[in-house]
C-alpha cells in the first residue's frame, strides 16, 4: 500500500483525531531492532520506538518466541479466571519495584492504569481531590485528560476535583528564577496550592518522574522529595506515572523515580513493559490495594499473551542489564546533541536522562519554535530517521530509541540529526 492510498483510507475510515506525524502520514510495515521499514520499502532508524514502547527492539526474537508460544497455547482467559503468566508478572513487578509496592491490577493501556491508580488513592484515603502537574500527560479518558495539563488534549468536559501545580520546567521557570537559587520554589508552592485551591484534604499527587508528552521536562534532584513530603503531610499519597520512564528508560535504575529518591504508594506502567503488546499495570502498597474492594473487571486485563510479552521483555532488560547500558548510550546521545546545540542557536535546550532526551527548538529570546520542530521532523524523515515531538508549545523533539540501540547506531543517529540541523540552518 502506497502512502497515497493510506491518506485516502485514513480520511474516509478513521476519526480525524487519529493524529499522525508528518504532512504525509508514514505507513510502517515492519521492524527489526532499531530499524523500521515503510510500506514503500524505505528504511529508517527509529528514535521514537512507537512512543517509548518498543523497549528492547522491534521483533525481538525472545519476546516474539514467547508470544507465539503463548498464542498457540491460549490467548485469553479474562480475569474471572487466573492464568500463570499474570501471577508471575505480578510477583515480578513486586520484586523489582522500589519500597513496599506489592499488589498489581492489570489493564490494557496507560489510561486505564491511571484510572485504576486514582480510584485506588481515593478508596484508600476516602478523599477525592488530586493534584497533577502542569504540562503533564496521563492519557485519554475524561479523568486522564483532566489530569493532563495541556488544553490541546482536553475534551470539552473536564472533571471536578483536580488542580494543577507548577512543574519544574527550569528552562522556562514559571517564577522567573534559576536553579539552585530558586530553592525549588515550584515544589514548595504545593503547600499554598493545597491550602488555597483544595479543601486541604487531598487524595493524591500524580506526576511523571520526567514529563513525557510535555517535552521530557526533567526536574532538579530534590523536586520530588520536597513535593511528596508536602503532599503526605496533607494526607495524600503519591502516584508515580512511570508509563514512559519505567523499566530502564532513564538509565542506571529500573524506574525514573529512583533517580529522585522517593518511594511512591502507587506506580503506573504501560508502554515499554511489554515491548509493544497492549498492557497497563497499576501496583500499590498493600494497604492501598486492599482498599479496592468494589466490583471491577478488565476483560483483557492480565491477558496471558501480554503478560508473557512483559515477562520476556523484563527478562531481556534484566539479563542484558539495560539500565546500565542505557546510562552509557544515553550519555553519548546527550553529549552529541549538546555538541549540536553549541553550533545551532535554534537548539535552545537539551535535557533528559538515559535514552529519553528532549531537544527544545527556539527562535529569538527563547521563543518556542513549533514550525521549526515540524520542519525538523520532515527533514529527519528524508534523512531516514524518525523522532517524536511534544511540549506544550509543540517545539520539543523527543528522542527515545529502543533501549537496545548500540553506540554505533547512536553515532549514526547523531550524524543524521547533525545533517538535519545543517539543512535547517538556512530556515531558522
Ligand atoms: C506518562 C503517560 N501516562 C499515561 C499515558 C496513557 O497511556 P495510553 O496511551 O497507553 O493510554 C501516556 C501515553 O502517552 C503517558 O505518556
Architecture of domain 63-319: 3-Layer(aba) Sandwich (3.40)
Beta bridge partners of 37: 30, 43
Distance 21 CA to ligand 1 centre (A): 17
Give the residue, by CA position, lying nearest to ligand 1 atom 4.
138
Angle at CA 273, nearest 5°, toward 32 and 266? Answer: 165
Q: Are 120 and 292 in contact (CB under 8 A)?
A: yes
DSSP for 329-353 reads HHHHHHHHHHHHHHH-TTEEEEEEE
Q: What are phi and psi of 108, to 5 degrees?
A: -110, -5
115 lines ligand 1 (CB under 6 A): no
Distance 373 CA to ligand 1 centre (A): 22
Q: Which residues of 317-335 are buried (b: 16+ CB within 10 A; e: fewer)?
A: beeeebbebbbebbeebbe
The pLDDT value recorded for residue 71 is 98
The pLDDT value recorded for residue 3 is 62
- Can you give the residue ranges of every domain in the chain? 3-56+321-425, 63-319
Q: Which residue of 244, 245, 267, 276 sits with most ligand 1 atoms within 8 Å of its CB, as the best mutation to test the pocket? A: 244
Distance 81 CA to ligand 1 centre (A): 27
Determine the 3-state secondary structure of 390 from DSSP.
Answer: strand
Give the residue, by CA position, lying nearest to ligand 1 atom 13.
139
Cell numbers of 87, please? 501471577
pTM of the model: 0.98
Distance 62 CA to ligand 1 centre (A): 25
258 lines ligand 1 (CB under 6 A): no
Note the CATH number of domain 3-56+321-425: 3.90.1150.10
The pLDDT value recorded for residue 125 is 98
Per-residue pLDDT of the chain (428 residues; tens, 9 = 90+): 556 689 899 999 999 999 899 999 999 999 999 999 999 999 999 999 999 999 999 999 999 999 999 999 999 999 899 999 999 999 999 999 999 999 999 999 999 999 999 999 999 999 999 999 999 999 999 999 999 999 999 888 899 999 999 999 999 999 999 999 999 999 999 999 999 999 999 999 999 999 999 999 999 999 999 999 999 999 999 999 999 999 999 999 999 999 999 999 999 999 999 999 999 999 999 999 999 999 999 999 999 999 999 999 999 999 999 999 999 999 999 999 999 999 999 999 999 999 999 999 999 999 999 999 999 999 999 999 999 999 999 999 999 999 999 999 999 999 999 999 999 987 65
Please state the atom number of ligand 1 nearest to the C-alpha of residue 112: 11
Distance 212 CA to ligand 1 centre (A): 9
Distance 398 CA to ligand 1 centre (A): 15
Residue 337 burial by CB count (10 A; 0-12/13-18/19+): exposed, middle or buried? buried
Q: Do domains 3-56+321-425 and 63-319 have the same CATH topology?
A: no
Q: Are 135 and 290 in contact (CB under 8 A)?
A: no
113 lines ligand 1 (CB under 6 A): no
Angle at CA 62, nearest 5°, toward 60 and 66? Answer: 115
Q: Are 44 and 35 in contact (CB under 8 A)?
A: yes
The pLDDT value recorded for residue 409 is 98
The pLDDT value recorded for residue 4 is 66
The pLDDT value recorded for residue 169 is 98
Roughly how many angstroms between the first and final C-alpha of the chain, as a whole number?
A: 35
The pLDDT value recorded for residue 157 is 86
400 lines ligand 1 (CB under 6 A): no
117 lines ligand 1 (CB under 6 A): no
The pLDDT value recorded for residue 155 is 82
Q: Which residues contact 96 (CB under 8 A, 6 or more apart)?
A: 254, 314, 318
Q: Which residue of 212, 239, 273, 358 sits with most ligand 1 atoms within 8 Å of its CB, as the best mutation to test the pocket? A: 212
Q: Which residue of 18, 54, 109, 137 sits with most ligand 1 atoms within 8 Å of its CB, as the best mutation to test the pocket? A: 137
Amino acid at each position: 500500500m502506497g502512502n497515497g492510498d493510506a491518506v485516502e483510507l485514513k480520511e474516509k475510515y478513521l476519526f480525524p483525531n487519529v493524529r499522525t506525524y508528518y504532512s504525509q502520514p508514514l505507513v510502517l510495515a515492519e521492524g527489526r531492532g532499531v530499524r523500521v521499514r515503510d510500506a514503500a520499502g524505505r528504511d529508517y532508524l527509529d528514535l521514537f520506538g512507537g512512543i517509548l514502547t518498543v523497549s528492547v527492539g522491534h521483533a525481538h526474537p525472545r519476546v516474539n518466541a514467547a508470544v507465539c508460544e503463548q498464542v498457540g497455547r491460549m490467548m485469553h482467559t479474562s480475569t474471572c479466571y487466573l492464568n500463570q503468566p499474570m501471577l508471575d508478572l505480578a510477583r515480578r513487578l513486586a520484586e523489582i519495584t522500589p519500597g513496599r509496592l506489592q499488589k498489581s491490577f492489570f489493564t490494557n493501556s496507560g489510561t486505564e492504569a491511571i484510572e485504576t491508580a486514582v480510584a485506588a488513592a481515593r478508596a484508600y484515603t476516602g478523599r477525592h481531590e488530586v493534584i497533577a502537574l502542569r504540562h503533564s500527560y496521563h492519557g485519554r479518558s475524561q479523568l486522564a485528560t483532566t489530569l493532563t495539563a495541556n488544553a490541546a488534549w482536553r475534551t470539552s468536559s473536564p472533571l471536578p476535583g483536580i488542580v494543577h501545580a507548577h512543574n519544574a520546567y527550569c528552562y522556562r521557570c514559571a517564577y522567573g528564577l534559576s536553579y539552585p537559587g530558586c530553592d525549588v520554589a515550584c515544589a514548595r508552592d504545593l503547600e499554598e496550592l493545597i491550602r488555597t485551591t483544595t479543601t486541604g484534604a487531598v487524595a493524591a499527587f500524580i506526576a511523571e518522574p520526567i514529563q513525557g508528552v510535555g517535552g521530557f521536562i526533567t526536574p532538579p534532584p530534590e523536586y520530588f522529595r520536597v513535593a511528596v513530603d508536602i503532599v503526605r503531610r496533607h494526607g495524600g499519597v503519591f502516584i508515580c506515572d512511570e508509563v514512559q520512564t519505567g523499566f530502564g528508560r532513564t538509565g542506571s535504575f529500573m524506574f525514573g523515580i529512583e533517580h529522585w529518591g522517593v518511594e511512591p504508594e502507587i506506580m503506573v506502567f504501560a508502554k515499554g513493559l511489554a515491548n509493544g503488546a497492549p498492557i497497563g499495570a497499576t501496583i500499590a502498597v498493600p494497604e492501598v490495594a486492599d482498599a479496592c474492594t468494589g466490583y471491577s473487571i478488565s476483560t483483557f486485563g492480565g491477558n496471558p499473551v501480554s503478560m508473557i510479552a512483559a515477562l520476556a521483555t523484563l527478562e531481556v532488560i534484566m539479563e542484558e542489564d539495560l539500565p546500565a547500558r542505557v546510562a552509557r548510550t544515553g550519555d553519548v546521545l546527550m553529549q552529541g546533541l549538546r555538541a549540536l546545540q553549541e553550533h545551532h542557536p535554534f537548539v535552545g535546550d537539551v535535557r533528559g536522562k538515559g535514552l529519553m532526551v528532549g531537544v527544545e527548538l527556539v527562535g529569538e529570546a527563547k521563543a518556542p519554535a513549533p514550525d521549526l520542530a515540524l520542519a525538523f521532523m520532515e527533514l529527519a524523515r528524508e534523512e531516514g530517521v524518525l523522532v517524536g515531538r511534544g511540549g506544550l508549545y509543540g517545539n520539543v523533539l523527543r528522542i527515545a530509541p529502543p533501549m537496545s540501540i548500540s553506540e554505533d547506531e547512536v553515532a549514526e543517529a547523531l550524524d543524521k540529526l547533525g545533517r538535519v540541523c545543517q539543512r535547517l540552518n538556512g530556515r531558522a
